[in-house]
Amino acid sequence: MNEVAPGFAPLPKRGRPKKPVEEPKKVLVGRVPLRGEDFAKKTEYSLAEDDEPDRLKIAKALIPEGVDLQWVTDTILGQPQPQRRARFQRRGWQAVHCGDFDGRFDYFMPDGHTGEISVDGLVLHCRPMELTLQARKRDEFRARQQVAIKEQQIHGGDIQGVTLDTRHQTALRTNKVNKTYEQIPVPHDDE
């Protein structure tokens, strides 16, 4: 029955093919495990690093006066984002390199690193605080302007999609814009 006619390949065997038996891989460790006091010192150091709730946090005491810092996206899942970085750089942000600001932020990088300070696809950038304050004023102005435009549309009757007369007496009595301000808790750094 197992004979094969001349010129034909043998039929495959029925059932699951057997997996080849792999030998267990040997893991080579490049250094000798620490023992005694050295192990305790190394363990304390490693645990202290892992306990940090926010790895990107920079203590306010480290930030030089008159300077603003921000983490800017450089890569997402390994894909470079040059347009995003360029947008920030056009607004005055510059990448911080190891050694800048007397090496205050070098602790983010391994010893001997000389390039930009980066963590998980983010690069630390800085700019003068006066540029940041100008940008905040501009953003606040734009936000207030958008609210004013909507108020004018409501009171002037230029609301798109509304077919009723917004200038009619009954509409004018009810078309009001109420503004309220609520205090929200803002966490403060004690550092």
Question: What is the sign of the dihedral through the CA atoms of 112, 123, 86 and 63?
Answer: negative
The reported pTM is 0.56
Amino acid at the residue 189: D
Residue reference for tokens 């540029």: 131
Per-residue pLDDT in tens (0 to 9) along the chain, 191 residues = 556 666 666 666 666 666 666 665 555 555 555 555 555 554 444 445 555 567 888 888 889 999 999 999 999 998 999 999 999 999 999 999 999 988 889 999 998 888 999 999 999 999 999 999 999 999 999 999 998 887 777 766 666 666 666 666 776 666 667 778 888 887 776 54
Instruction: Give the chain's length.
Output: 191
8 Å CB contact between 74 and 122: yes
